[in-house]
Amino acid sequence: MTCTMEIYLDANATTPVLPEARAAALAAMSADYGNPSSTHSAGLKARALVDETRACARRVLGAPTGELLFLSGATEGIQMAVLSALTALRQRRERGESIPQLLLFGATEHKAVPEALRHWNLLLSLNLQVLSIPVGADGRHDLGWLRQHAPRAGLVCTMAANNETGVVSDLAGIQAALEASPALWMVDSVQALGKLPLSLGQRPIDYAPFSGHKLYAPKGVGLLYVREGAPITPLITGGGQEGALRSGTENMPGIAALGAVLKLLEAGNLFKAAGVLASHRERLTVALRDAFPKIVFNADPALSLPTTLNFSVPGVSSQVLLNLFDAAQIRVSSGSACGAARAQPSHVLEAMGLPAWRCASAVRLSFGPATPSGLIDEACERIRECGASLRDNCLVPSIQRPTAAVERINRHAVGGLVCYLVADPSSRRCVIIDPLPDQVEPLAQWVRCRNYVLAAVLQTSSHRSVVSCAAALWKSIPAVLADTAEVDSLGWPRGAAEIALGGQRLTRLHSPGSSRDATAYLLHDAQGPCAVFVGDALTPRVRGGDVDPGDSPQRAALLRQLQAAVGDGTLLLSRHDPDDLYASTLNHEMAQLMSPAPVAEPAALSPGELLARIARGDKIVLVDVREPYEYRLGSAPQPGLAVAREAVPVSSILNAIPHWRAGDPDTTRVLFCRSGSRSAQAARALRRLGLERTASLAGGIALWPDAGHAARRIDRA
């Protein structure tokens, strides 16, 4: 399947701007460009638009009284709400009154809320205690806890619906828990707008921030509701706009666009009713279950927005899922957009007490309330293709696929630790070295699906940091696929001088280091030794090269031993590889011992620079380092010029190094992947191994010159 049309299912991060909103913004920048503070007719026209939009917002939000301020977005609205509440507390303290000592926020709140509380608490020298309100496994606030702490709270911040899970808060329950509390109450309503009925005026909510770009208006415009009588302190002062509560010339294109969206929301024909949205979600749920039978959903649909799904797939990381969906041209995310660049587990799922694997591998799929049914159908079809791709590549349980591609050395890295699976396609035998507990199921799956015989599960050391999971692995593999023999404590068959793997063989080399029994394993092919699995023996040097060469006599001894046993260019593969350096060589290790030198950073070529190099006749090979499960869903865009291409997945790049070393030294390999990060990392590692003519494509396929044209965004038909 090759998909060219982008399906955007990340609406909780942001939404495309509706054509009506775009037209309104354009009008506010062209014909109707007046400043609402001017008293001539251009200004009066602009003022009328501001008033009209505010009036419409009051109706949509059910807020007939109180302030409704236009500002830049929810983050600003949150700052102003927190500043207002905390300033009022400070003024009371300055008057000598005693004030409540707690500031409370929901544990699953958007980061803007706790950050604002801490910031203004510090800046106003209030020094109140900032506490998070725990949530249950269902993601809802612990109302008992809240009831207990509310009497001592000066401000309570909760949200109407969560951006990562879609869990809808029990606002009635929170209201009841706050009954005996002196606290002001802020409800972050960003994700509720357009998806849940809102009647702000009917609840004792003091502050409610909203954001335009979460509902088809542009970025840079938002609203803050402030209940009549609630304290207000301007965050920005100046020309006195917005009743002197938020100065600065109004963002007229933004307000006009937001106004157009609110009008559509009020008219009610473009935005789907909750029942329709729930049926969209149900279809997506069925497709996800078909694609990933072991999927777990991280929020109860009965308690969540009908537009959000948050899920984890056992044994499949969120990175793999994101790569997979992206290859199918479906845009989803691994949590909040603000956290997406930091590969950290979701604080929301952690607060719900979900197991670590679910927090670290969650994916969020969210659509907007104007999403057409046809788009959901297309998304379901592609999601099923994603599942088929994982099955074809043996990444999830599936029937045996002995034809699935197999490389000699397969690298499985988790959190800086690496396990290697050495396979021999001719004999269908394999050996696993240093497996980690989290990898047992994926590795067993690899063996079962490809119908390989597992000849040994080896460890490079019995050091206490190495958790043996050999027994668990053997147990997960059917007896017919297990070459059982009596083995020693590191898994080596007793009395055997070598382990045969068809045309290859493994031998071992005692290399005391991290433990007395530390052992390196040497892989030999017909030409001689080709790789050494060195365990932890080279760890300090392999990690970066800034260690005193004299620090490790054991390492120097091992290097001498290896020098006698293998060639200088043989790949040394470490169990520790937090910087994704992939491999080292004796040449490199020796050079580092003599004079540690940083490796020059590889060039990250912009698409334009790449095309210029091709045009000037440089010898270039483009190397697609994405994984086979990604290739299956769509080929990478063509650069429009004749240039050689190779597909070498990062997970098996080690196998290509010998060929590249032996190849034309004048050829530059430009690695590319989805976002540019895997390829940049791989290019750095390859240069370190002496393949200096290696570069990567900055921004990856995402910034490929053709990509923007090829992918037509169709959030709305």
Note the residues at the interface with ligand PLP (CB under 6 A): 73-75, 110, 112, 159, 163, 188, 190-191, 211, 222, 336-337
Determine which helix (DSSP H) or strand (DSSP E) holds 553, and give its type and residue range. Answer: helix 553-565
Q: To which residue do tokens 């800034």 refer? A: 546
Q: Give me the residues paired with residue 418 across strands.
A: 413
436/414 Cα distance (integer angstroms): 8
Min dist CB 188 to ligand PLP, Å, is 5
DSSP string, 431-442: EEES--GGGHHH
The helix/strand/coil state of 654 is helix
Q: Residue 262 or 419: which CB sits closer to ligand PLP?
A: 262
- Which token pair is 284? 């997506």
Cβ pair 364, 305 in contact under 8 A: no
Sequential DSSP letters for 356-393? HHHHHT-EEEE--TT--HHHHHHHHHHHHHHHHHHHHT
Residue 210 CB, shortest distance to ligand PLP, in Å, is 8
597, two tokens: 């030198």
C-beta of 219 vs 463, nearer to ligand PLP: 219
φ and ψ at residue 506, rounded to 5 degrees: -115, 135
Q: How far apart are the C-alpha atoms of 697 and 610, rounded to whole Å?
A: 8
Torsion of CA 133, 136, 141, 143, to 10 degrees: -90
Residue whose CB is less far from ligand PLP, 213 or 272: 213
Distance of CA 495 to the CA centre of its chain: 47
At 589, list the tokens: 């290790």
Q: Which residues, listed in sequence order, are joined to residue 507 by a DSSP beta bridge?
A: 522
H/E element holding 144? helix 143-149
What one-letter code names the amino acid at 280?
H
**In sequence order, which residues have a C-beta less than 8 Å from that of residue 230 and are 6 or more positions away?**
66, 84, 184, 206, 207
Asked if 697 contacts 607 with a C-beta cutoff of 8 angstroms, the reply is yes
Residue 357 token pair: 């694997």
Residue 658: Cβ within 10 Å count: 16
CB of 73 to ligand PLP, least distance (A): 3
Nearer to ligand PLP, 84 or 317 (CB): 84
Q: 305 or 394, CB closer to ligand PLP?
A: 305
* Cα dihedral 342, 343, 344, 346 sign: positive
Q: How far is the CB of 107 from ligand PLP (least distance, A)?
A: 14
Displacement of CA 289 from its chain's centroid (Å): 21
* Cβ density class 99-119: b for 16+ within 10 Å, e for less: bbebbbbbbbbbebbbbbbee
Report, in Å, the least distance between residue 160 CB and ligand PLP: 8
Q: Which is nearer to ligand PLP, 124 or 337 (CB)?
A: 337
In the complex, the smallest distance separating the C-beta of residue 74 from ligand PLP, rounded to whole angstroms, is 3
Q: How many residues does the chain have?
A: 717
Measured from the CB atom, the residue of 159 and 390 that comes closer to ligand PLP is 159
CB of 336 to ligand PLP, least distance (A): 6
Say if residues 296 and 314 touch (Cβ distance below 8 Å).
yes
The span from the CA of 699 to the CA of 679, in Å, is 10
What's the CA gap between 359 and 498, in Å, rounded? 42
Q: Smallest distance, Å, CB 204 to ligand PLP?
A: 21
Contact 370, 270 (CB under 8 A): yes
Buried b / exposed e over 37-65, threshold 16 CB at 10 Å, is eeeeeeeebbbebbeebbebbbebbebee
Q: How far does Cα 640 stand from its chain's mean position?
A: 31
**Given the complex with ligand PLP, which of 211 and 410 has the nearer CB atom?**
211
HEC assignment per residue over 162-173: CCCCCEECCHHH
List active site positions.
338
DSSP 462: -
Q: How far is the CB of 509 from ligand PLP (least distance, A)?
A: 54
Nearer to ligand PLP, 191 or 251 (CB): 191
Comparison of 261 and 327: residue with beta carbon closer to ligand PLP: 261
Minimum distance from CB of 110 to ligand PLP (Å)?
4
DSSP symbol at 514: S
Write down the least CB distance from residue 378 to ligand PLP, Å: 26
70 versus 704: smaller Cβ distance to ligand PLP:
70
CB of 206 to ligand PLP, least distance (A): 17
Among the listed residues 436, 696, 694, 685, the one whose alpha carbon sits nearest the alpha carbon of residue 584? 685
CB-wise, 305 or 680, nearer to ligand PLP? 305
Pairing, β 102-106 against β 129-133: parallel
